[in-house]
Amino acid sequence: MKRLGKATAAAGVAATLALTGCSGQSLEGDGDKAQGTITLKVAFWGDMGLDKLKAQYEAAHPNIKIVLNSGEYNAQHEDLQKKIVAGTGAPDISAIDEGFIVQFRSQADKFVNFMDKGGAEYESKYLPWKWQESMSTDGKQIGLGTDVGGLAMCYRSDLFKAAGLPTDRDAVSKLWNNWDDFINVGKQYTAKTHKKFVDSGTNMFNPVLAQQPVGFFDTGEKLQMDGGPKVAFDVSMKALDAGISANLASFQPNWDQGFKKDQFAVLACPAWMLGHIQDTAPDQAGKWDIASIPGGGGNWGGSWWTIPAQGKNIDAAADFVKWMVAPEQQIEVFKTVGNLPSQPALYKDPAVLDYKKEFMSNAPTGQIFAATAENLKPQYLGKKAGPTRVAVENVITQVQEGKLKSADAWAVAVKEAEKAANS
Amino acid sequence: MSLTQLRPSPQHAAPPPKQSRAKLLLYRFDTKATPYVFIAPFFVLFAIFGLFPIVYNAVVSLRTWKLDEPDKDGWAGFANFTKLLTDSDFWNALYNTFGIFVLSTVPQLLLALIIANLLNRKLRGQSFWRIGILLPYLTPVVASTLVFSVFFARDNGMANWFLSLVGYGQEQPLDWRAEKWSSWIAIATMVNWKWIGYNALLYLSAMQTIPKDVYEAAAVDGAGPWRQLWRITVPMIQPVVVFTVILSTIGGLQLFNEPMMFDQNPQSATGGSAHQFQTIAQLIYKVGWKDLNLGYAAAMSWALFLIILIVAGINAQLTKRIGGDR
Q: Let me know: does B98 contact B188? Beta carbons within 8 Å.
A: no
Closest Cα in chain A to B296? A423
Q: Same structural domain for residues A277 and A343? A: no
A78 interfacial to chain B (CB closer than 8 Å): yes
Question: What does pTM read for this prediction?
Answer: 0.83
Q: Let me know: does A286 contact A264? Beta carbons within 8 Å.
A: no
**Mean pLDDT, all residues of chain A:** 87
Task: Say what the pLDDT of residue A3 is.
Answer: 44
A38-45 and A64-71 beta bridge pairing: parallel
Q: Same structural domain for residues A250 and A391? A: yes
B174 interfacial to chain A (CB closer than 8 Å): no
pLDDT digits (tens, 9 = 90+) for B55-102: 999 999 999 999 888 888 899 989 999 999 999 999 999 999 999 999
Quick check: A14 and B69 CB within 8 A? Answer: no
pLDDT digits (tens, 9 = 90+) for A310-341: 999 999 999 999 999 999 999 999 888 888 99
pLDDT digits (tens, 9 = 90+) for B284-315: 999 999 889 999 999 999 999 999 999 999 98
Q: Same structural domain for residues A137 and A228? A: no
Chain A residues closer than 8 Å to B292 by CB: 81, 103
Q: Same structural domain for residues A195 and A264? A: yes
Quick check: A107 and B156 CB within 8 A? Answer: no
Quick check: B70 and A109 CB within 8 A? Answer: yes
Q: Let me know: does A94 contact A23? Beta carbons within 8 Å.
A: no
Q: Same structural domain for residues A173 and A261? A: yes
One-letter amino acid at A221 equals: E
Q: Same structural domain for residues A165 and A131? A: no
Q: Same structural domain for residues A317 and A269? A: no
A369 within domain boundaries? no
Instruction: Fill in the DSSP letter of residue B198.
Output: H
State the burial class of residue A151 (Cβ atoms within 10 Å of its Cβ: 0-12, 13-18, 19+). buried
**Partner-chain residue, chosen from A9, A263, A394, that has the shortest CB–CB distance to B273:** A394
pLDDT digits (tens, 9 = 90+) for A166-203: 999 999 999 999 999 999 999 999 999 999 999 999 99
CA atoms within 13 A of residue A2's CA, in its CB half-sphere: 17
Three-class secondary structure assignment of B220-269: HCCCCHHHHHHHHHHHHCHHHHHHHHHHHHHHHHCCCHHHHHHCCCHHHC
A219 within domain boundaries? yes
Least confident of A89-93, A373-377, A417-421, B10-14: B10-14
A305: nearest Cα among A58, A45, A6, A13: A45
Q: What is the domain-level CATH number for residue A351?
A: 3.40.190.10
Per residue in B115-146, is it b (16+ CB within 10 Å) or e — as a string?
bbbebbeeeeeeeeebeebeebbeeebbebbb
* Domain regions of chain B by residue span: 81-325
A151-156 and A266-270 beta bridge pairing: antiparallel
Binning pLDDT at 50, 70 and 90, where does residue B21 land? confident
Q: Same structural domain for residues A321 and A210? A: no
Q: B81-325, what's its fold?
A: MetI-like fold (1.10.3720)
A87: nearest Cα among A306, A309, A315: A309
E-strand spans in chain B? 63-64, 74-75
Per residue in A301-332, is it b (16+ CB within 10 Å) or e — as a string?
bbbbbbbbbbbebbebbbbbbbebbeeebbbb
Coil, strand, or helix at residue B145? helix
Q: What ipTM, to 2 d.p.?
A: 0.80
Q: How many domains does chain A have?
A: 2
- Range(s) of the domain holding residue A58: 4-148+300-362
Q: What are phi and psi of A56, to 5 degrees?
A: -60, -45
| Size (chain B), residues | 326
pLDDT digits (tens, 9 = 90+) for A258-277: 999 999 999 998 888 888 88
User: How many other CB atoms are there within 10 angstroms of residue B309's CB atom?
Assistant: 12
Q: Is pLDDT of B268 > 90?
A: no
**Mean pLDDT, all residues of chain B:** 88
Q: Same structural domain for residues A196 and A76? A: no
Closest Cα in chain A to B179? A403
Binning pLDDT at 50, 70 and 90, where does residue B324 land? low
A367 within domain boundaries? no
Q: Same structural domain for residues A172 and A282? A: yes
